[in-house]
């Protein structure tokens, strides 16, 4: 595809963000998927700045009372959030269609808030936000494996455009990075499906995986998840190790201004130029 400017994202009273997509079939197909959904319905944007640790504790209390979760409601550590996520995984083991629609908003809010707290409040130096995600709550999409040449990226850089996580689960790299050895068969989900969401990363994450020397990583999987390795094979785990990046923000100084803004962000428009 790619020109210097494939997508423009506009937030109210903020500089425009200019996105260059990678020149590959996945990025091109994602853009068509995004345009189709955008033409049908304006997307959802939730500013991470609004999602605080106090709010997460309120949501956890609500989930305990309304959903019967056995979960921590005074969250102080990454271990607390990992265990809270296990409740999400169990509740949604059979998808959103398996739970009463009245609980959908609570689940969406809790899941979004949970990951904001993990990556911003508990374990990074990002001031307000680590992700700007524009999304739809639907099942639209296509298999990522339609493009067998697509490669996942180990390290996320500031301004990278990543495909929206299609599942309530964690990719192998996050499982390893959080040293999450509990119920990996349930938690680990391969990112093998493309959703229409647009995800702009505003942090830098490195889970200590060296592509040139994978022995430590492979040993972790064989030691902590032998059944998972036996089921899927180490080559499949390695294939899905990393993040599905499809482009980047060109004007990083403007992105930094937005990320550090003290104002609550309001999405105005997304313009696709192709």
Torsion of CA 220, 225, 228, 234, to 10 degrees: 20
Q: What is the pLDDT of residue 83?
A: 85
Q: Is the pLDDT of residue 73 over 90?
A: no
Question: Can you spell out the DSSP letters for 101-151?
Answer: GGGHHHHHHHHHHHHHIIIIIIT---SS-SEEEEE-SS---EEGGGSTT--
Phi, psi dihedrals of residue 34, rounded to the nearest 5°: -60, -45
Find out whether 21 and 262 touch, Cβ atoms under 8 Å: no
Find out whether 74 and 59 touch, Cβ atoms under 8 Å: no
Q: What is the pLDDT of residue 181?
A: 92
**Torsion-angle region of 242 (φ positive above 0: left; ψ -120 to 50: alpha; else: beta):** left
Decide which of 1 and 271 is more confident: 271
Q: Is the pLDDT of residue 228 over 60?
A: yes
pLDDT band with cut points at 50, 70 and 90 for residue 121: low
pLDDT band with cut points at 50, 70 and 90 for residue 1: very low
Rounded Cα gap, residues 211 and 81, in angstroms: 28
Of 136, 141, 169, 181, which is closest to residue 240 (Cα–Cα)?
A: 169
Q: What is the pLDDT of residue 206?
A: 64
The H or E element that residue 164 is part of is: none
């Amino acid at each position: 595809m790619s020109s210097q400017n494939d997508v423009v994202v506009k937030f109210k009273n903020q500089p425009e963000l200019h996105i260059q997509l990678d020149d590959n079939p996945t990025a091109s197909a994602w853009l068509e998927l995004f345009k189709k959904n955008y033409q049908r319905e304006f997307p959802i944007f939730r500013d991470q700045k609004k999602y605080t640790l106090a709010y997460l504790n309120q949501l956890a209390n609500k989930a305990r009372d309304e959903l019967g979760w056995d979960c921590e409601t005074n969250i102080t550590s990454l271990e607390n959030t990992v265990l809270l996520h296990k409740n999400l995984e169990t509740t949604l083991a059979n998808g959103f269609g398996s739970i009463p629609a009245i609980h959908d908003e609570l689940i969406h809010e809790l899941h979004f808030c949970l990951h904001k707290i993990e990556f911003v409040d508990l374990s990074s130096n990002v001031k307000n936000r680590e992700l700007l995600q524009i999304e739809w709550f639907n099942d639209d999409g296509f298999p990522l494996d339609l493009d067998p040449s697509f490669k996942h990226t180990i390290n996320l850089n500031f301004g990278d455009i990543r495909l929206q996580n299609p599942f309530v689960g964690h990719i192998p790299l996050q499982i390893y990075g959080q040293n999450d050895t509990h119920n990996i068969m349930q938690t680990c989900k391969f990112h093998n499906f493309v959703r229409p969401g647009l995800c702009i990363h505003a942090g830098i994450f490195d889970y200590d995986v060296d592509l040139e020397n994978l022995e430590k990583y492979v040993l972790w999987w064989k030691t902590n998840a032998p059944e998972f390795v036996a089921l899927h094979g180490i080559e499949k785990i390695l294939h899905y190790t990393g993040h599905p990046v499809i482009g980047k923000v060109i004007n990083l100084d403007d992105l930094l201004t937005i990320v550090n803004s003290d104002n609550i962000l309001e999405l105005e428009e997304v313009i696709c130029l192709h």
